[in-house]
Structure 1
């Protein structure tokens, strides 16, 4: 005698099949994270965490699994998780990347994946660094539109060609990946750094702005644009694909020619 199928049993069986299919895609990876807690020790140490994960997931997902399921003391920054806020810039396998844009499958998961804080800024705890010097350099270049005279009664119009002139440098998300990849910045934290220069570029070459000369004089300082050694580290590190080195060279040229 046959037994009629139960809708509840069918749903349960389908859920189990889905779970098994999902589990079959998982691999075991090792995340080797540089941990530092100033309340415990003056020295950082590498700690290994093994976890199952879908190779199509991101390093940020792996950090979440560790934080939520293995070790709640792990500390890192993240916000939007979609490559826009720039909060989760870290060094992954020795390269500056956004954890939310780096897929496990793309970084050789058969070997331990190293994750450490970006360089050149003081580490506060684990993967969190002190961003104050970075943002101070950003503020120092006056990253806002400067105009003279009375407020206009209509929108400040701009041609497509004029807008295109600085389009690339509008993409910056202030993640500090470029600045913290710069050897000059590592050795001298007084250097403005690539990100500050990129954001100065964005306004220096804006046809509506009238503060270009002021910004150029700021960047003409001994800690300004001339410290760049054109190593292209910053361009390679930028998760937004900005031609950072090119922007820096254009600012140098503007300082010499005073044409912008």
Structure 2
């Protein structure tokens, strides 16, 4: 039942006290312990050694596609800058003085937003994305997944700017639909479907003169 995070912690405590790594909750909630394990991005607190060990060996590395600060610690600044560039902030149409706007759980837009909203920005999908490796300017699956959830949120007022961001040179049309982001998402989200939805929205906006 020993996890990869247990192994890293043991190494830091018993063999190399200078080893730098991140963790917080240890129960698969925060995503801060994400690392590459045998070439695959994983939450190390939920990855059991016996399920991933190969020939009695493990290779543990920092997340791919992000600058390394030290050892297993990556600089997440670029990741969150892209999240912001994709219009990841919710911009309300109403103020707190206005009546609360009802949300219809069975509306198609609400269902689309709900399908993407559980992302915790652990960067697993970003590390798994080959397009980010080839094109470092690409916004990446997490940022685009967030944009999709907000473009389907009828309470948000930032739709046009967000649409322009996801249709930009760094946006959704860079995606090659390899679906690594979906394959490795620990929360079982489907960023590939979100990006496909963004491509449809962008195409529709072009044909209707909104882009």
Q: TM-score, normalising length from structure 2?
A: 0.90
Partner of 1:106: 51
The 8 Å contact of residues 120 and 187 in structure 1, kept in 2 or not, is answered as: no
Which residue of 70, 74, 87 corresponds with 2:15? Answer: 70
Aligned equivalents of 1:171, 1:62: Cα separation in 2: 28
Structure 1: which 4+ aligned runs deviate by more than 6 Å? Answer: none
CA distance 1:129–1:149, change in 2 (3 Å): closer
Aligned equivalents of 1:183, 1:110: Cα separation in 2: 27
Deviations 1:141-165 (A, max 9, x none): 2323223465543222101123322
Partner of 2:36: 91
Kindly indicate whether residue 180 of structure 2 is the aligned counterpart of residue 213 of structure 1.
no
Q: TM-score, normalising length from structure 1?
A: 0.74
The 8 Å contact of residues 82 and 143 in structure 2, kept in 1 or not, is answered as: yes
Partner of 1:173: 120
Q: Which runs of 5+ in 2 are unaligned?
A: none
Partner of 1:132: 77
Point out the structure with the larger strand share: 1
Aligned equivalents of 2:50, 2:134: Cα separation in 1: 33
Kindly indicate whether residue 197 of structure 2 is the aligned counterpart of residue 242 of structure 1.
no
Q: Which runs of 5+ in 1 are unaligned?
A: 1-55
Which is higher, the Rg of structure 1 or of structure 2? 1
RMSD: 1.7
Higher relative contact order (CA 8 A, sep 6+): 2
Per-residue deviation, 1:101: 1.0
